[in-house]
Structure 1
Amino acid sequence: MLYPLASLEADKLNAIQQLENDLGRPVVALASVEAQTAELPKDQLKQLQDLEAELDVVLVAVQPN
């Protein structure tokens, strides 16, 4: 299972913004995505981690459907 940022309709966004105001801090909305992560050999994992560091992002290898 992966959790990217959720796409929200205006009413849901408004509800979250109200909660942020009530809490006094930001709230991040995530959506679930069915995905099976791939197990990578050490050399491929290092490639992925090196690119993560270069791009300053999180990368996840997944099994193809």
Structure 2
Amino acid sequence: MLYPIASLEADKLDAIQSLEKEIGSPVVALASVDADSVSLSKDKLEKLQALEDELDVVLVAVKPN
């Protein structure tokens, strides 16, 4: 399971912003995505990690549908 940033309708965003004001802290909304990660060989994992470092992001290799 993966959890990217959720796309929100205006009413949901308003509700979250109201909660943020009430609790005094930012809130991040995440959506669930059904995905299975794959096991990578050491060489492939090193390539993935090198690109993560280069792009300053987190990458996850997933099984194709």
When normalised by structure 1's length, the TM-score is 0.98
TM-superposed CA distance for 1:9, in Å, is 0.3
Counterpart residue identity of residue 33, structure 2: V
Matched length: 65
TM-score between the two structures when normalised by the length of structure 2: 0.98
Deviations 1:16-49 (A, max 9, x none): 0001001111000000000000110111001000
Structure 1 residue ranges, 4+ long, deviating more than 2 angstroms after superposition: none
**CA distance, structure 2, for counterparts of residue 23 and residue 39 of structure 1:** 40
State the match for 2:35 in structure 1: 35
Q: Which residue matches 2:22?
A: 22
Identity of aligned residues (%): 71
Which residues of structure 1 form unaligned runs of 5+? Answer: none
Partner of 2:14: helix, strand, or coil? helix
Counterpart of 1:25 in 2: which secondary structure?
A: coil
Does 1:57 find its partner at 2:57?
yes
Give the Å deviation of 1:59.
Answer: 0.4
Q: Cα offset for 1:58? A: 0.5
> 1:46 is matched with which residue?
46
